[in-house]
Structures are given as structure tokens and as C-alpha cells.
Amino acid sequence: MSFFSARVCIIGSGLIGGSLALALKKAGAVGEVIGCGRNEATLHRAQDLGIIDRFSTDMTQAVQGADIVLLSVPMLAMRGVLEQIQPTLQPGMIVTDVGSAKQSVIADAKAVLGDKLGQFVPAHPIAGTEKSGPDAAFAELFAQRRVIVTPLAENSEADVARVVAMWKCVGAVVECMSAEHHDHVLAATSHLPHLLAFTLVDSLARMDESHEIFRYAAGGFRDFTRIAASDPTMWRDIALANAFEIKQVLKRYQGELEALQHDLDAQDGQALFERFQRAQAAREGLKF
């Protein structure tokens, strides 16, 4: 099998899976894309949009003959999918995923795949928008974005290289690290901010003056609400899957808010200024 005639089966044809399919096609890096999911209407839509070439709602059938199987479903659905495809996996087939937390899906794979565990190469593209579904998919989603691969001891170098190559050919910058480290960093950089935004929007929406609050939403709050438009199921699953790491960094943040509350109480302008200035300096040190 050559890379460019590969048959890719995408389980879950939403924003991420759909965008990867479009990007692989645009790069001429895929022979056929088979879609798979529970919702037939969504699969039809994905086919109409040219994301997938054909589809099946039967997982065993969809996976048949695939070179790469991409799991692009919410974290808590991963285990069920792995259970269903396990018997169908042939030698040489690679299974990979796009989950935002890695230790949880690896634990699922270890529990389910048995001696086929080595065929599962975990990965996470750090890309997305607040939209979801096949209509939100676009080929350029991964251009210049980072993809983290967290290989298992059981993976062959060739299989890892193949997953890395797939992401590189859609324009991503690929890096490898341990699943533990990934989950620790992503809890801070992505999971906590999303949970804070969801919580703020929910909190204000339930205030008596919520109508007015949303009406006078200024720059700051608008950005929060954009984040909070993200898919609730996906984020529930991420929160549960990476709860341990999220709780650590949330606890730290709660401590910082106590300090903020204290500075406001004490009218400590110097402490407030220093906090805001450190944040501004950190932002300026970023290369976005």
C-alpha cells in the first residue's frame, strides 16, 4: 500500500474528522475516505460536502480494508468504538485518534485492544473552532497548527512515522511527548480556559439582569461567549477524561482569585497593577 492510495476510515465526521478528510484529499494524500457514525443524516451531509466518498453506520463494515482508522468521537465514546472495531483490525492497519486528553483513551485502548494495542497511535491536533459538525469542516484547519503524538511503547516506529506523516501533509507541525505531559499542559492551556468560559457565561446567564448583561456585552465577555459556544458533549467528556489534571490547575486558579478578591478588598492598586502587567508582558512574549 502506498501512502497516497491509502484508504482512511473516519469514525465521527464532524469538524475535526471532516477537516482532516478534506485536507488529505486536497493534498492528494488519500485514495478513499469512508465515513462512519451513528447519524445517517450527518453522514449523508458529509458525503454531499465531498468529505467522505462513502459511508456505513456499521462499524465493522466501515473499517474493512482501511489502512488508517481515525477515531474522531467524544472522549467517552472512544472505548465503545475501540471495542467494536477490535475484532476487525487486520495486521498493518493503524488506528489513531484526535482526542483532547490522551491518558484516558490510552487506558481504553489497553483495556480493549489486547495484542493489537501496538496498532493504536494516540494523537491530538490542537486545532478547532467553536463550531461543530461536517458543515464546519474546512481543509485548512490544521495549517501551521500543532499536533501532538503520544506514542505507546507498543507502537512500531513505522506506524508512528506514518501518523506523523499524515498530519504533516495537511500542514501541521507535529511533536511527540508522553501522554502524561500532554494532559498536564493541555489542562492549563485549553481545558481550564474552556471550563472557565462556560462557567462564566452560565453564571451570568442565570443572573436576574442576564438580558441586559448580554445586551451590553463588551469585548471581554464576547470572547468568553465565543468559547462557550463549543459542543457541550465534547467538553463534558474532556472534563471527565482529564479531570485529575484540570482539578490541579483549577485549584491553583481559585487560589489566584482569592488573592484578587483580597487585593480588591484592600484596594491594593500596586498588587493589581503588577498582576495585570505580568499578564500583559507574558502575552507580549508570545509568538502567535
Q: What angle do CA 29, 30, 35 make, to 5 degrees?
A: 140
Closest to its own copies by CB, 95 vs 228, is 228
Amino acid in position 27: A
Give whole-number Cα distances, 241 to 83, 102, 105, 162, 279, in Å: 18, 8, 8, 26, 29
Q: What is the closest distance, in whole angstroms, from the C-beta atom of residue 86 to its own copies in the complex?
A: 25
Q: Pattern 98-137, binding to its own copies, x per CB under 8 A?
A: ----------------------------xxxxx-------
What residues between 141 and 160 interact with its own copies by CB under 8 A? 146, 148
Distance CA 245, CA 168 (A): 29
173 is written with which cell numbers? Answer: 507541525
Binding mask 21-60 toward its own copies (x if CB under 8 A, else -) reads: ----------------------------------------
Q: Of 91, 115, 144, 283, which lies in the binding site for its own copies, with binding defined by CB under 8 A?
A: 283
Window 241 to 280, contacts with its own copies (CB under 8 A): 243, 246-247, 250-254, 256-258, 260-261, 264-265, 267, 269, 272-273, 275-280
Q: How far is the CB of 142 from its own copies (least distance, A)?
A: 13
Among 26, 27, 44, 214, binds its own copies (CB under 8 A): 214
**Cβ nearer to its own copies, comparing 96 with 242:** 242
For 231, the 3-state DSSP assignment is coil
Q: Residue 71 forms beta bridges with which residues?
A: 11, 97
Does 189 participate in binding its own copies (rule CB under 8 A)? yes
* Structural element, H or E, at residue 112: helix 103-112
107 vs 239: CA distance, rounded Å = 16
Residue 222 in contact with its own copies, rule: CB under 8 A: yes
Nearer to its own copies, 110 or 236 (CB): 236
Under rule CB under 8 A, which residues in 67-86 are in contact with its own copies?
A: 76
Q: Which amino acid is at 146?
A: R
Cell numbers that stand for 218 in this block: 463588551
Task: Give CA 48 to chain center in angstroms.
Answer: 24
**Nearest CB to its own copies, comparing residues 27 and 243:** 243
Rounded to a whole number of angstroms, the minimum distance from the CB of residue 15 to its own copies is 12
| Contact residues for 43 (Cβ-Cβ < 8 A; gap 6+) | 13, 35, 36, 37, 52, 55, 57
Q: Nearer Cβ to its own copies, position 4 or 244? A: 244
Q: Closest distance between its own copies and the C-beta of residue 231, in Å?
A: 8
Q: Which residue has the cell 494532559?
A: 183
